[in-house]
């Protein structure tokens, strides 16, 4: 009897310990801010070490490596980095996941010695696929697997088959060509599509420092922006917030900015809230484009409300786009290293509050934020570098400031695009009569529609629309 009681006591103690451990892990997850730094990823750099590189340039490559990887937290739960140097044969310089701190990883990178030799890029890609990604302890499920190939010349073996085999195993390939000896066709054989996202070319090794920020951004997009939004004939990484909130089942459908377009009529009875963990499980990239097409009337046009906000667990705003009809202003709030944890900038804007349909667009970077209304650039305001967001709270749409009450308004589009270049492609063609500067720049056509109305018995009713294409 005493033995059984002792055994049961031990079992209960073990269970309590396990539950306490799980609870502590969950708490750690809740208190940790989410961003590109903390998103889990297996990242492998495949570096050309052939004779054409030369040792002085290889030192520049190592410095470039260090500058990029300092953007990520290194460790089993975060980013694991591996490095392959290749010439005639690939050499495993840093095994994937060997180092669990930035300090140790940087030290290992700085100690890599230039090898020299010929250029067999295809063999190196196959080696990375089989010997690094293939042996990763974390496996392919739920983890971004990214390879960055840096080369300065034409490969002396075939690259396409190796690259396609890597892609079939879920590896995302970037190709960076240095100098005039690289071939664009070969870089495209290596890289994923679209090539505008995954292929880069610079004139020499000194110039690779110029693309550090854009490479950081692209790597970040791969880790925190798994979803894609269909835009014209492309798929853009980002978040379709109306889709994520299942607005089609929560709000009544109504006519959008022009006849035949679809929007949603949000009422005070609709609660457009979701846990941030489900919307942005790994946070947001450092740069992105926020786009909303909306209309609001009556008292809402002279009140203060949050079109979009991300709150902490205790209801404090971390990020928000706030419209204030009393002051005719748009406020943008984001995270900050300041004691308050946030920073807010304010734009003056008259047009948005005239009770008509408008497109509001914000281009957000680490240094500043720019407001556009119906494709017209309004103003750029400076920002301090943001930090990650806590994902244990709620993300909400259309709420009065500091209240849980929903604002009555109409919404046609609400998206966050992870690629800041989407700002140059996005148009406000859905707004009747808008002349799009982006359309002019990219030679695209806008679909313009004129509503056809019937007049009977003193009543006016829309019965159709005449649509035509125009180069704005």
* Average pLDDT, integer, range 433-437: 62
Res 454: pLDDT:
44
pLDDT above 50 for 450: no
Number of domains in the chain: 2
pLDDT above 90 for 457: no
Q: Mean pLDDT lowest for which of 52-56, 139-143, 204-208, 301-305?
A: 139-143
Dist CA 390 CA 358 (whole Å): 31
Q: Is residue 449 part of a domain?
A: no
Q: Rg of the chain over CA atoms, in angstroms?
A: 26
Do 47 and 85 touch, CB atoms closer than 8 A?
yes
Q: Are residues 150 and 76 in the same domain?
A: yes
State pLDDT tens for residues 390-402.
999 999 999 999 9
Q: Are residues 266 and 198 in the same domain?
A: no
Q: Are residues 209 and 347 in the same domain?
A: no
Cis peptide before 399 (omega within 30 of 0): no
Res 6: pLDDT:
52
* Average pLDDT of the chain to the nearest whole number: 86
Q: Mean pLDDT lowest for which of 31-45, 60-74, 354-368?
A: 31-45
Structural domain range at position 398: 229-422
Q: What is the CATH number of the domain that holds 135?
A: 3.40.50.410
Res 468: pLDDT:
45
pLDDT above 90 for 150: yes
State pLDDT tens for residues 170-211.
999 999 999 999 999 999 999 999 898 999 999 999 999 999
The pLDDT confidence band at residue 438, using thresholds 50, 70 and 90, is: low
State pLDDT tens for residues 256-283.
998 889 999 999 999 999 999 999 988 9
Which class for 253: exposed (0-12), middle (13-18), buried (19 or more C-beta within 10 A)?
exposed
The pLDDT confidence band at residue 433, using thresholds 50, 70 and 90, is: confident
* Average pLDDT, integer, range 142-170: 94
pLDDT above 60 for 286: yes
Q: Are residues 262 and 381 in the same domain?
A: yes
Q: Is residue 468 part of a domain?
A: no
Q: Are residues 206 and 252 in the same domain?
A: no
Q: What would the two tokens of residue 152 be?
A: 């300065």
- Burial code of 270-288, b = ≥16 C-beta within 10 A, e = fewer? bbbbbebbebbebbbbbbb
Q: Is residue 428 part of a domain?
A: no
Do 155 and 122 touch, CB atoms closer than 8 A?
yes
Res 235: pLDDT:
82
Q: Are residues 243 and 114 in the same domain?
A: no
Q: Are residues 333 and 210 in the same domain?
A: no
Dist CA 403 CA 393 (whole Å): 15
pLDDT above 80 for 470: no
Res 227: pLDDT:
78
Q: Is residue 11 part of a domain?
A: no
Res 446: pLDDT:
56
pLDDT above 70 for 455: no
Do 202 and 176 touch, CB atoms closer than 8 A?
yes
Q: Are residues 268 and 255 in the same domain?
A: yes
The pLDDT confidence band at residue 141, using thresholds 50, 70 and 90, is: low
Q: Is residue 60 part of a domain?
A: yes
Res 76: pLDDT:
86
Of 286 and 1, the structure prediction assigns the larger pLDDT to 286
Q: Is residue 442 part of a domain?
A: no
Output the CA–CA distances (angstroms, integers) from residue 449 to 119, 261, 437, 446, 469, in the order listed: 57, 10, 19, 10, 9
Res 97: pLDDT:
87
Of 28 and 249, the structure prediction assigns the larger pLDDT to 249
pLDDT above 50 for 339: yes
Res 154: pLDDT:
95
Q: Are residues 216 and 251 in the same domain?
A: no
Of 24 and 352, the structure prediction assigns the larger pLDDT to 352
Res 136: pLDDT:
82
Q: Are residues 261 and 372 in the same domain?
A: yes
Q: Is residue 447 part of a domain?
A: no
Last residue of one domain, picked from the residues 189, 224, 259: 224
Q: Is residue 356 part of a domain?
A: yes
Q: Are residues 212 and 262 in the same domain?
A: no
State pLDDT tens for residues 217-271.
999 999 888 778 888 767 889 999 999 999 999 999 999 998 889 999 999 999 9
Q: Are residues 279 and 175 in the same domain?
A: no
The pLDDT confidence band at residue 36, using thresholds 50, 70 and 90, is: confident
**Residue found under tokens 């009747």:** 432
Q: What is the CATH number of the domain that holds 367?
A: 2.60.120.200
* Average pLDDT, integer, range 143-163: 95
């Amino acid at each position: 009897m005493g033995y059984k009681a002792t055994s049961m006591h031990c079992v209960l103690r073990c269970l309590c310990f396990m539950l306490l451990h799980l609870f502590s892990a969950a708490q750690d997850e809740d208190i940790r801010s989410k961003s590109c730094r903390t998103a889990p990823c297996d990242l492998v750099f495949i570096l050309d070490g052939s004779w054409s590189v030369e040792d002085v340039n290889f030192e520049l490559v190592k410095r470039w490596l260090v500058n990029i990887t300092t953007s990520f937290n290194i460790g089993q739960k975060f980013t694991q980095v591996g490095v392959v140097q290749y010439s005639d044969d690939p050499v495993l310089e840093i095994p994937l996941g060997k180092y669990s701190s930035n300090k140790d990883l940087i030290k290992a990178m700085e100690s890599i010695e230039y090898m020299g030799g010929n250029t067999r890029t295809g063999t190196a890609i196959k080696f990375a696929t089989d010997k690094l990604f293939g042996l990763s302890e974390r496996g392919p499920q739920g983890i971004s697997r990214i390879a960055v190939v840096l080369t300065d010349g034409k490969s002396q073996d075939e690259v396409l088959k190796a690259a396609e085999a890597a892609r079939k195993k879920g590896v995302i390939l970037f190709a960076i060509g240095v100098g005039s000896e690289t071939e664009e066709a070969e870089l495209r054989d290596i890289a994923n599509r679209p090539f505008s996202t995954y292929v880069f070319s610079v004139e020499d090794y000194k110039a690779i420092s110029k693309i550090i920020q854009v490479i950081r951004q692209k790597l970040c997009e791969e880790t925190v922006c798994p979803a894609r939004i269909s835009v014209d004939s492309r798929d853009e990484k980002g978040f379709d917030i109306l889709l994520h909130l299942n607005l089609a089942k929560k709000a009544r459908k109504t006519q959008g900015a022009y006849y035949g377009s679809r929007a949603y009529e949000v009422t005070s009875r609709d609660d457009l809230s979701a846990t941030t963990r489900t919307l942005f499980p790994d946070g947001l990239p450092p740069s992105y484009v926020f786009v909303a097409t909306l209309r609001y009337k009556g008292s809402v046009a002279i009140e203060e409300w949050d079109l979009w906000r991300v709150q902490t667990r205790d209801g404090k705003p971390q990020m928000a786009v706030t419209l204030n009809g009393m002051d005719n202003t748009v406020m943008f709030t984001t995270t900050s290293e300041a004691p308050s944890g946030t920073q807010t900038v304010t734009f003056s804007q008259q047009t948005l509050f005239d009770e008509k349909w408008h497109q509001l667009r914000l281009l957000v970077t680490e240094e500043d934020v720019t407001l556009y209304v119906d494709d017209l650039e309004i103003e750029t305001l400076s920002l301090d570098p943001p930090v990650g967001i806590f994902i244990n709270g709620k993300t909400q749409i259309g709420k009065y400031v500091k209240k849980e009450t929903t604002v009555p308004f109409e919404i046609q589009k609400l998206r966050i695009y992870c690629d800041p270049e989407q700002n140059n492609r996005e148009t406000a063609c859905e707004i009747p009569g808008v002349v799009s500067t982006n359309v002019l720049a990219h030679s695209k056509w806008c679909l313009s529609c004129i509503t056809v109305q019937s007049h009977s018995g003193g009543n006016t009713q829309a019965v159709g629309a005449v649509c035509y294409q125009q180069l704005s």
